[in-house]
Amino acid sequence: MASELRNERKAWSVLIVSTLAFTVCFMVWMMFGVIGIPIKKMLNLNATEFGLLTAMPVLTGSLIRVPLGIWTDRYGGRIVMATLMAITVPAIYLMSYATEYWHFLVIGLFVGLAGGSFSVGTPYVARWFPKSRQGMAMGVYGAGNSGSAVNKFVAPVLLVAFGWTMVPQVYAAIMLGTLVLFWLFSHSDPAHLVPSNVKFSDQLQALKDPKVLKYCQYYSIVFGGYVALALWMVQYYVGEYGLDIRVAALLAACFSLPGGVLRAIGGVLSDKYGAHKVTWWVLWVSWICLFLLSYPQTDFTVQTVNGPTTFHIGLNVYTFTGLMAILGVAWAFGKASVFKYISDDYPKNIGAISGIVGLAGGLGGFVLPILFGVLMDLTGIRSSAFMLMYGVVWVSLIWMYWTEVRQTEVMGTNAKSFSLQN
């Protein structure tokens, strides 16, 4: 009994301190979503260049996820997470001294390593809990996505008071302090590691499973889309509605905050109702919200019996923010449900599989802001970003229907037919 209580305490200590570490890492990862706006003005960047600027940290944070997940399986989450955080501190601080566009791109690649922390913490915290509670554990840890919202609260205050260069300096200090706390209150358990005779290639064998590709597609929406829009929304509010950067950041947090914090609830729902049901409804809610968000501000004139009458169709800032908040909640649940799929299907290979799925989600977060900028430069329509996301969700809905919903219907029909025959 005493041993079980001690293990329970360790499990919750690991979960809490790991979630704190991931929150700080995600805050740093999303830094360009706010400081990118004054940098854009300083360097006179177009929308495509701005998209590339914000996306550079996402690139390395995505590419590093697979090896980090595998190393976590082999060496343990405590040492891998601590090493990762320590490596990012100098790069974060150096960001304040960048002056040229290429400076920001190169340093951004090193800062982006912080984003790989997700593939470390997910298998690390999951193995401290029984299977029936792993969805909850991964959901609580994933709530560290709320670091995106924390960035939108903290960075504008520092930016207005001291200038954008103060933001990376303060963030470097916060990262260092969090590293110390993490090391003091985290634990390791050799029983959680994969056997030493298991090769990297053996851990990657499961990636040949087509289900992994499907989970990658889902995650490219609920996480990749979340990261992309979290980076894009502040400048969207400033450009579309002419808001002050502080107000814009506050409203953008209405999407980022629930999109991170409520992931824990998504984990609980996935444990109770299953990953499929939660993901299915998440995709449908996303489809509806993105359809409404896609419609651009439009004025049209109709010839009536009393002469021409002009109408305006478009979302005002309140309706837009409300739809974004609903989308954030849906994606919070979806991020948890996708990883519930993984813990159910690959209990002994969570690190490697979560790494590759996290890679796909991160690459979505890298590619989408660039595409948002390209589409806006080509069309001049800001809502084209949502049009693109709407199409991506369509693909996932069709894929899920044919591989999960349709197969279930066919199996049910065959079972009913077999029952009647007997």
Please state the domain extents for the chain: 2-188+204-421
Q: Residue 168 in 3-state DSSP?
A: helix
Task: Indicate the SS3 state at residue 357.
Answer: helix
Distance CA 27, CA 144 (A): 9
Question: Which residue stretches of 274-405 are H helix?
Answer: 275-294, 317-345, 350-379, 384-400
pLDDT of residue 420 exceeding 50, the answer is: no
Residue 2 has pLDDT above 80, yes or no: no
- Note the residue count of the chain: 422
Give the percent of the chain with pLDDT over 70: 91
Lowest mean pLDDT among 208-217, 318-327, 412-421: 412-421
Cα-based angle 260, 149, 391 (whole degrees, multiple of 5):
60
Q: Find the Cα–Cα–Cα–Cα dihedral 90, 95, 100, 105, rounded to 10°.
A: 80
Which 3 state secondary structure label does DSSP give 209? coil
Beta bridge partners of 313: 298
The CA distance from 284 to 218, in Å, is 12
Q: Supply the pLDDT for residue 196.
A: 55
Specify the pTM: 0.77
- Rounded Cα distance between 148 and 26, Å, is 6
What is the per-residue pLDDT across 46-89, written as a single tens digit (0 to 9) for each? 988 998 998 899 888 888 887 888 888 888 889 999 999 999 99
Predicted pLDDT of residue 384: 92
Average pLDDT, the chain: 85
**Contacting residues for 164 by C-beta, under 8 A, at least 6 apart:** 35, 38, 39
Name residue 113's beta-bridge partners.
none
Q: What is the pLDDT of residues 118-130, one digit of tens each?
A: 888 888 888 888 8
| Nearest residue to 128 via CA among 141, 142, 112 | 141
From the list 177, 143, 171, the residue with the least C-alpha distance to 157 is 171
* Contacts (Cβ under 8 Å, ≥6 apart) of 338: 215, 218, 219, 222, 223, 275, 279, 357
Any bridge partners for residue 303, and if so which? Answer: 308
Res 342: pLDDT: 82
> Can you name the residues that pair with 308 across neighbouring β-strands?
303
- Structure-token pair, residue 24: 């700080």
Rounded Cα distance between 219 and 415, Å, is 32
The values of phi and psi at residue 46, to 5°, are -85, 180
Q: How far apart are CA 276 and CA 250, in angstroms?
A: 33
Q: CB of 389 within 8 A of CB of 221?
A: yes
For the segment 84-109, the average pLDDT, to the nearest whole number, is: 93
Question: Burial letters for 353-379: b for 16+ Cβ neighbours within 10 Å, e otherwise?
Answer: bbbbbbbbbbbbbbbbbbbbbbbbeee
- Using CA atoms, how far residue 40 sits from 54, 152, 203, in Å, is 10, 17, 42
278-312 b/e with 16+ CB inside 10 Å = b? bbbbbbebbbebbeebbebeeeeeeeeeeeeeeee
**313 DSSP assignment:** E
CATH of the domain spanning 2-188+204-421: 1.20.1250.20
Q: Which of 69-83, 229-243, 344-358 has the lowest mean pLDDT?
A: 344-358
pLDDT, tens only, 20-35: 999 999 999 889 988 9
Whole-Å CA distances, 99 to 106, 171, 192: 12, 19, 45
Tokens of residue 354, six digits: 């979560």
| CA within 13 Å, CB half, 110 | 15
Closest to 290 measured CA to CA, from 239, 261, 324: 324
The set of residues, in sequence order, having a beta carbon less than 8 Å from that of 104 and lying 6+ positions away, is 32, 39, 53, 56, 95, 98
Q: Which percentage of the chain shows pLDDT scores above 90? A: 31
In 296-420, at which residue ranges do the beta strands (DSSP E only) sit? 298-304, 307-313
| Per-residue pLDDT, 273 | 87
| Whether residue 210 has pLDDT greater than 60 | yes
